[in-house]
Amino acid sequence: MSHTTQGTLLLSKLGIAFELHPYDYDPEAPRIGLHAAEALGIDPSQTFKTLMAEVDGKPVCVVIPSDAEASMKKLAATFGGKSAAMMKVPDAERLTGYKVGGIGPFGQKRKVPTALDETAELYDSIYINAGQRGLLLAIAPADAAKAADMRVADLTA
């Protein structure tokens, strides 16, 4: 399995430091982010999941702790919209070029407005999907925000 993804290529091109952390992906795991955190022995609140959503029908990407739920109200407000909903799996895969369970915020096929939950700033580094099932990367929150042009906001319920 190659550990090169569109996400790692982008980070390398930008000269942003990151560390790769492969793990055994379990397609049966009810919550991929929590499963990844457990597999790597990392605190779930330091492991961030990447969710694709729509605000007023327009695609957005949000990166939140794997042990939290996104607040649709806060999500809509962050992107200046009225209502938010999770994106359907086929749409998310088509838009990002990644498979669900392997979606990361870096190097997506189409650039969409992206936000990072403010709790990321509590850590020196956070773990985010590298763009492949079974592969996380550790990155400084400020670098993550810069690489994916993310606004930092309170996004969780």
Query: Is residue 16 within 8 Å of 128, Cβ to Cβ?
Result: no
Chain segment 92-122, per-residue pLDDT in tens: 999 999 999 999 999 999 999 999 999 999 9
Give the closest residue to 53 by CA, choosing from 29, 25, 28, 77.
Answer: 77
Structure tokens at 1: 């399995």
Query: pLDDT band at residue 30, thresholds of 50, 70 and 90?
Result: confident
Domains of the chain by start residue, with CATH = 6-153 (3.90.960.10)
Give the closest residue to 132 by CA, choosing from 106, 104, 111, 102.
Answer: 102
CA angle (14, 92, 62) in 5-degree steps: 60
Question: pTM here?
Answer: 0.94
